[in-house]
Chains A and B, each alone.
Chain A
Amino acid sequence: MALVNMRKIWKLAAAAAAGALVLSMSACGTADDKTLHFWNSMTGNDGVAMQQIVKDYNATNPEYKVVFQPMQGGDVTTKLYSVEQTGKNIPDLVIQDNFQTGVLQDQKLLSPIKDLQKYQPSLSKDNYLPTSWDAVEFGGEAYGIPLYLYQMVLYYNKDLVKKYNLDYILDDDVVTIDEINGLKGKLPKDVYALSLGNLPWVAMSLVYNQGGTLDKAVHDMKGDVWRKPLEQLVEANKNGLLNPIDMDVLQTFASGKAVFGLLGTFDVGTLEEAMDKDKIGVTNTLQYSADNPTNFFWQANWIQLKDPSRSEAREKASADFIEYVRTHFMTMAKIGQVSASNVDLDSPEYQKLPQSYFTTGDKERAMLRSSNYMYGGYATSAWGTFNDIVYGNVTVDDGLQLLQDQTQGQIQIQEQSE
């Protein structure tokens, strides 16, 4: 009796295993499905805009249709590492930020852009904002194509500037932390001078503003380029000029409780929804010194992972799609992305958008900075510590020491891995 039932169970198990096998067989074995896999982290309204572009492109009946595959920020990297281990399912098109581009290039995982330029020669330096192209080059060879730029920039409430006669701060289009500190006692209690968001991002501009560069500054987190602006921000917080940490940055600014707001280029859509469009002014990001104003920008790049099995037709199709996006970027520009392509930068329609401020003339373009230093990302990951410093939870010395330990610890491990 027991034996019979045992056999029954074995049979069941065998059937289940066979079933699973059959299912697994049907799942694989697609030779060329004539689709391009496009991995990105565009969630929210930028995803909607990009998907529109993809749809329009697919409507032109290309040989290879593009499959739009969005995922949460860091998941793209995790997924890339996963497929890299198997060598299969490597996507044709990926969007990664400037620092991750550096990391992947350092591992020799990226195929050079000249492979794509064979099919679309216009995907070249001449057609892009020069700083943005510099950020995709490694040793003179391009390993990425810029898609758009983003960063915290300084918005100001025109009404409040007028009300408190603050035009003098904006006269040179440069707002320094010093000038913010100068507002001590000039504003009513419930109006903050500055609504401060994404501190580590802001810090990058401040570093470059003092002549620093990330490839050096990351190795010396206790250096003056980090310390001096942070000390001034600590001062600003003590003077009650910064929004308390618990107040949402966007909300504080949009509700008229702050004269200046350090917000993302990508926040402009939400801002215009929440407050009168004519009240919003935009200018260069926060500076330490007025001498050498800089706007450090992050960058979303097209990259292509090496894949020996990728056919030439597929390569060409990838180039075609990137070129299509380059010439049809307006949909994304309208939601606040800073275009890297001259097609937009030179178009009157784009020039009407608020973010065109950063690329209008030679003067503005000379202020742009970027970096693709692979360890650059380490300096930005310690959000909490930057906030702890400015809001007085730790002293500047202790906080910077912590940042120094953290980045150096991680870099040390990397150098021993080689």
Chain B
Amino acid sequence: MSATTSSARPQVASPTAGVSENKARVVTPSLIAVYAILVVLCIVWIVPVIYTISTSFKSVQEFMTGAFNFFPAKWVGDNYMRLLESSASYPVFSWLKNSLIISIISAFLSVCVVALAGFGYSRLEFKGRDTLFFVLLLISMFPTVVNIIPQYRIVATLGWVNSYWACIIPGLGNVANIFLVRNFMKGIPKELDEAAKIDGASDFRIFRSIILPAIRPILIVIFLFSFTGAWNDFLWPTIVFNDINKMPVTAGLQLLSSQMQGYSNMGTLMASTCLAIIPTLLLFLFAQKYFLQSLNITSGLKG
């Protein structure tokens, strides 16, 4: 923290607080309170995560003693070694490759499909537009437990069993993402595209040069959500792949740790959890830089 200058001047006293760069750095009591709240919450949030990591370095013997240790009495890499050894009999690296292919294509196509549809349902005028959209949304809410069987049948009819498409295409039917993007688009002032329309711009042009840049932050969020969703899916890949080499990594890692063995297996389970979240975590850290960029299109227009 660079704010070493403390000021007794309360924030409210200055009507222009927050406007100028210098004053924003001033540490006010309310800022300290915010820090305190965030730090406490983050500690609560991170402790189980650290516990997960530390647990992944405990030996089976240590689990069996039954005493509570936050950190391992002795740090051992056995659990990771076990996963690595398994890669001799299980294609762990193929799984990673599969997951990357599936997740990247899923996320990319998702963004395309969602952006187009979001535009269609928020900006283009046609009769019954909102009704159609909300009907789709309501339909998508139905919990169907048996749908895996007809879905498999459809995928099999298309000849996608054992193909990546089986894990990519069905997820593109997600309505919730469109709902999110549609709502964001509705927040963009109409004057923007109306002005462009008067200038003779086509719908596609408006979509590409006005709407798309404006909703970039939320599209990055959609990319992140779709990527993570595809990455973490495990039941559906099990059903549609008949070849262990084609499995994505989350489904695959489940095969390395039998759930029958409870505590004794905990170390391996935690190790595979830690490994599985690395790519999605990296993506998040990368993405969060972009989805917060305030584009402030409104002021751009007015100016």
Residues on A facing B (Cβ under 8 Å): 1-2, 4-6, 8-9, 20, 23-25, 27-29, 37, 43-48, 51-52, 55, 67-73, 75, 78-79, 81-83, 85-86, 88-89, 91, 247-252, 254-255, 257, 264, 266-267, 270, 273-275
Chain B residues lying within 8 Å of A1, measured Cβ to Cβ, are 200, 202, 205
Of the residues B65, B153, B238, contact of A255 by C-beta under 8 Å: B65
Check B264–A251 contact: CB distance below 8 A.
yes
The B interface, classified by DSSP as helix, strand, loop or mixed, is helix
Check A273–B205 contact: CB distance below 8 A.
no
The A interface, classified by DSSP as helix, strand, loop or mixed, is helix
Check A251–B202 contact: CB distance below 8 A.
no
Chain B positions 117-172 with a Cβ under 8 Å from a chain A Cβ:
148-149, 152-153, 156-163, 165, 169
B244 within 8 A of A: yes
Q: Which residue of A lies closest to B65 (CB)?
A: A255
Given A20-B165, A47-B258, A250-B64, 11 extra CB contacts under 8 A: A20-B169, A44-B257, A45-B258, A72-B259, A75-B239, A82-B153, A85-B153, A86-B156, A89-B242, A266-B261, A270-B261
Residues on B facing A (Cβ under 8 Å): 60-61, 63-66, 86, 89-90, 148-149, 152-153, 156-163, 165, 169, 200, 202-205, 235, 238-239, 242-244, 254-265
The smallest beta-carbon distance between B196 and chain A, in angstroms, is 12
Chain B residues lying within 8 Å of A55, measured Cβ to Cβ, are 89
Q: With the chains together, A409 CA to B257 CA distance in Å?
A: 34
Q: Which residue of B lies closest to A46 (CB)?
A: B258
Given contacts A51-B89, A251-B264, contact A27 B64 (CB under 8 A): no
Check A44–B203 contact: CB distance below 8 A.
no
Q: With the chains together, A89 CA to B153 CA distance in Å?
A: 11
Check A67–B261 contact: CB distance below 8 A.
no
Check B165–A44 contact: CB distance below 8 A.
no
Q: With the chains together, A275 CA to B239 CA distance in Å?
A: 39
Given contacts A44-B258, A51-B89, A88-B156, contact A27 B163 (CB under 8 A): yes
Check B165–A85 contact: CB distance below 8 A.
no
Chain A residues lying within 8 Å of B64, measured Cβ to Cβ, are 250-251, 254-255, 274-275
Check B60–A270 contact: CB distance below 8 A.
yes
Given contacts A5-B205, A247-B66, contact A43 B259 (CB under 8 A): yes
Q: With the chains together, A73 CA to B234 CA distance in Å?
A: 13
Q: With the chains together, A55 CA to B89 CA distance in Å?
A: 9
Q: With the chains together, A191 CA to B75 CA distance in Å?
A: 29
Q: With the chains together, A23 CA to B238 CA distance in Å?
A: 21
Check A43–B265 contact: CB distance below 8 A.
no
Of the residues A5, A89, A247, contact of B156 by C-beta under 8 Å: A89
Q: Which residue of A lies closest to B62 (CB)?
A: A274
Q: Which residue of B lies closest to A28 (CB)?
A: B159
Of the residues B156, B204, B239, B259, contact of A9 by C-beta under 8 Å: B204
Chain B residues lying within 8 Å of A67, measured Cβ to Cβ, are 242-244
Check B255–A5 contact: CB distance below 8 A.
no
Chain B residues lying within 8 Å of A2, measured Cβ to Cβ, are 202-204
Check B244–A68 contact: CB distance below 8 A.
yes
Chain B residues lying within 8 Å of A37, measured Cβ to Cβ, are 242
Check A27–B162 contact: CB distance below 8 A.
yes
Chain A residues lying within 8 Å of B264, measured Cβ to Cβ, are 250-251, 254, 267, 270, 273-274
